[in-house]
Structure 1
């Protein structure tokens, strides 16, 4: 009996977990864990981390050892032939004393490692944006399907009333055909909304690697977020300084500058210290056991290489100019992106507020028109027009709400400030669907004026 009760309890817990609504933060975390591109970038960063030990190894002593056994036969005219075996080992050491090209490579390694870390941060931010887009696309698709269902139901009800009036001689064939056309259009919107919802769910499942029974939704009413400082130039300047693409181009430019230095280092001499020790019995060319020990400080001075060094210097200088131009382009693009998203956020918050008021007004107008139609002061065309206006306002409000949230996230991304903490701040705008129960359709949302403030990034 106890075992059966435990199994029942586990089944209940599992059922609750299955229907529990997932919020934005959960979806983002699962997407970043599932994202193969992000995983590949992290692997690349681990490889880039080895640039420093590889470059440092070129500056440290290199010690090599070996062992061999050789057979020697010496035949000299008028002398007896001599044969003997040689066994032994040798050890050698090479220490670069001065090689500016190797030192420059060692300085480059820091930037190569930094580039790998920056690419990971950029890929993680892109994964967060992808998850948020998939999340809000599905919420928007669910809202749009609910709107299309309400629209179709309203027109079906009106068509039923119209047919009764036609039988009573109170409606014309033109009114009936016009209403039937509206119903067909509403049902087509239902079909399109259902298809869009299926595609949105597939996109979300592909991003996270698993399906969700329900998602936490925007609170109703919801306060659209704003950011501080409320200055478009401040955000543009922050993006121009911290955008990940700008950071990558800055690193590329510094690497290109060091490439020029490496190319010019080919004109400089190189100094190396070499030493070797070969114990007795391994002396090459000696019939008797011989021990040899050598040490040498060598200097190599380039005089003429057929113009290769000059060509390489010119090539690296041109690539440095290209890197500088790429950096300038990235800075301009980052500033423009920040300005665009800042304006989308500001205008989106105002648009949501205006559309919410318009939805309430058009809802009241639609209800009044329906009453007027029943008492004979409004005709069928007025009802259809009022329905189109109200449900079109609802559609626009649905889009505006989610696009405003995405504008906030994209603005944070433009300044390299989109982190899990920022996602958690947006997550406070969501409310969990109780036990996965079907949500109530959005009829006339009461959206408060935008007053919420999210702290600006510390960058």
Structure 2
């Protein structure tokens, strides 16, 4: 019995001790790699830059426009080109009148006959002049046009709608970066959790393997019953299956993180055991709901979207209004060849256009804009409800996680005491090997449950801050300070392209996107709520003039 007692004591220590991973990466490095290589984040940035161009397009409709057109053509035609003397034609008309005054004996005088001959020559001249012949010439035309809208209500409201849409796009981009922060943390800590689960599973398997080998040897010499061996064998087989499953889950977690960072070799630094596990600060859920109403980025984007759609309704209605444009045109037309002429013209004026009827298109587009506005308002209400629901949900879960960590710490101590008592009972012959293995399995499960609760606390706290619009790269810096990193020096927050009020990952923004975030004070292990503490202390200071 003494040999078995020593074996279980050594295995107990082996089962609950985790060695740190050497040369591991850290959370900030993971986030920076995700910023550089995550295709989902890259697509969000490209989508924002695409939306940003709509503002320039809307402004362009209010600016002057100019166009230059040049045309050249070669013309071949048949045309009369002769000239006729009009004086003989006048005399000929008189002569024809004289012919009408013939005498009754139908005789013509000599002077009238000479006049008729002259008329015949004139007719021949006309015939020759009207004869068609081939004519070829080139035509070159230059036209320069410029226009400046003077009164275009629809253009002005479309520009206002584009600015509101840009604000919505900025809020969506900031939300996408919060999502990147969230996915980076979740992926990293999922690797850590599955890594610890795998170590625990391997430790339990090794413990059972050594115990099974020893029990088989004792069974061979008749010191144990066969049921002890079979039950230990069954426990070992279950532990082996657990190792296979844990290895698969760990590999999948690493692949998910690698898909985001672009790095196939994923190594993570484990968390120390003394991280601060605190309830939300402030602890009142109503305060967090107020933060969500003001700072939730999805809700903020939906508000800007409502304003943009409201402006579009006005823009479509304004298409019924008259439009006034200032226009100028310079044109030059030049002929060369058989016909050589040149003309120039300059035109400056104001044009007024009054829409009367466009087949019902304008009215239909206005109705469509109203339906889009209704959709945007419904989406805003949905975003508000989701923000409040998520805030309440994660506020409750964080408090539950804090209680779960405390309870599972106690469960580990209780399981350890039960394990020691069970070993003592086995040594005294009142407990079986099966009883000892069962309590040991509970101890492993308690350790695994504690690991899960600690990581759930971290992830749920980040989700709570995201739902309130307070999540920022400073939170990753706080988490990174918890890690026992033996790798390279951590990257500073300024190098991360963190969430600020005027820039996201190198993309310039307007100052309308507001994000909570205060640098936490340095301590051994900073709390995820240190930012709130510093922010609250700043609010408590007396204002100037009070």
TM-score of the two chains, using structure 2 as the length reference: 0.71
When the two chains are superposed, the root-mean-square deviation of aligned CA atoms in Å is 2.9
Which residue does 2:530 correspond to in 1? 454
Query: Is contact 1:263-1:316 (8 Å) kept?
Result: yes
1:44 to 42, 47, 60: 47
* Correspondence 1:425 to 2:429: no
Give the unaligned 5+ runs of structure 1: 1-17, 436-449
Q: Determine the structure 2 residue equivalent to 1:75.
A: 79
Q: CA deviation at 1:321?
A: 1.0
Q: For residue 273 of structure 1, what is the aligned residue in structure 2?
A: 326
Residue 256 of structure 1 pairs with residue 309 of structure 2: yes
User: Separation in 2 of the partners of 1:306 and 1:434?
Assistant: 70
Residues 118, 244 of structure 1: 8 Å contact kept: yes
User: What residue is the counterpart of 2:383 in the other structure?
Assistant: 330
- Counterpart of 1:57 (choices 43, 47, 60) is 60
What secondary structure is seen at the aligned counterpart in 1 of 2:283?
Answer: coil
Counterpart Cα distance in 2 of 1:458 and 1:414: 18
> What is the aligned counterpart of 2:345 among 292, 296, 316?
292
Structure-2 change in CA distance of 1:84 and 1:153 (3 Å): closer
String of CA shifts for 1:73-121, please: whole Å, max 9, x gaps: 6836966677654445332221211111111111122123223333322
- Classify 1:294/1:108 alpha carbon distance in 2 versus 1 (closer, same or farther; 3 Å): same
C-alpha change, 1:98 and 1:342, in structure 2 (3 Å) is same
State yes or no: 1:362 paired with 2:415: yes
How much has 1:212 moved relative to structure 2? Answer: 4.2
Deviation, 1:225, is: 4.4
Q: Larger Rg: 1 or 2?
A: 2
Instruction: Decide whether the 8 Å contact of 1:227 with 1:455 is kept in 2.
Output: no
Q: Does the aligned pair in 1 maintain the 2:34–2:262 contact within 8 Å?
A: yes
Q: Tell me the distance in 2 between the aligned counterparts of 1:281 and 1:205.
A: 69
Higher RCO by CA contacts (8 Å cutoff, separation 6 or greater): 1
C-alpha change, 1:24 and 1:101, in structure 2 (3 Å) is same
Q: Normalized against structure 1, the TM-score is what?
A: 0.84
How far the C-alpha of 1:213 sits from its partner, in A, is 6.4
Q: Which residue of 2 aligns with 1:187?
A: 240
- What CA distance in whole angstroms lies between the structure 2 residues aligned with 1:253 and 1:222? 43
Q: How many Å separate the matches in 2 of 1:239 and 1:427? A: 26
Partner Cα distance (1:220, 1:434) in 2: 19
What displacement does 1:433 show? 4.8
Q: Secondary structure at the match of 1:218?
A: coil
> Offset at 1:281?
4.3
The answer to whether the 8 Å contact 1:226/1:454 transfers is: no
Name 1:439's counterpart in structure 2.
none
Answering whether residue 148 of structure 2 is matched by residue 95 of structure 1, we say yes
Partner secondary structure for residue 69 of structure 2? strand
How far is 1:405 from its partner? Answer: 0.7
Q: Which residue of 2 aligns with 1:28?
A: 31
Corresponding residue for residue 208 of structure 2: 155
Distance across 1 between alignment mates of 2:62 and 2:527? 59
Look up the SS of the partner of 1:220 in the other structure: coil
**Higher alpha-carbon deviation: 54-63 or 81-90:** 81-90
Shift of 1:453: 3.5
Cα deviations across residues 298-343 of structure 1 (Å, max 9, x unaligned)?
2211223343333322222122111101110011011111111121
Change (3 A) 1:83 1:256: same
